[in-house]
Structure 1
């Protein structure tokens, strides 16, 4: 269950509402997986404008929404920027080892494709 309390506050599923099928769906898209891989190595939250995805702005917005609504990322406004962070703690608590396995597999695939 998610609720929005104001236009500047984005809805996120609580930890216990994050579903495996939603997470796997979110991670199944190459653009979304790319975002998650970048967030996983970032020292801090990253703004949406940080990501240079080869898709339209509206498609980029859709990808971030899917990631947020599935519980993979948390988005907050800082000024006019929408900042993104990986919900690693929540994902590790719900699905131990899943995120690390997906990130390792993505890195392996990237190496193989080079």
Structure 2
């Protein structure tokens, strides 16, 4: 079972992501964060296999969190989700340490597919 942390400042988005990811065999959401700082604390304490990050969050943004998680937990997969639809934003996320970038406009199921692919479930 792949352990997943969700980090998004919108409660509704976290609940929807939790529902979609939890419905997939092999994925277990073990923690949720409403800001970047909380996401790092959860990654350090829960040792997830995957962190799903919103790009725009209070405290530390998704790029900063991706870099911190990648440095501290190189084995952890990182998926960045964002409403931003610009190629340079995706490139920045990947350069910061994310394994994959998915636009929120692609839908929750696209995010779930990407998450499952990153942890091979």
TM-score for the superposition, normalised by structure 2? 0.26
Q: Report the structure number with the largest CA radius of gyration.
A: 1
TM-score for the superposition, normalised by structure 1? 0.27
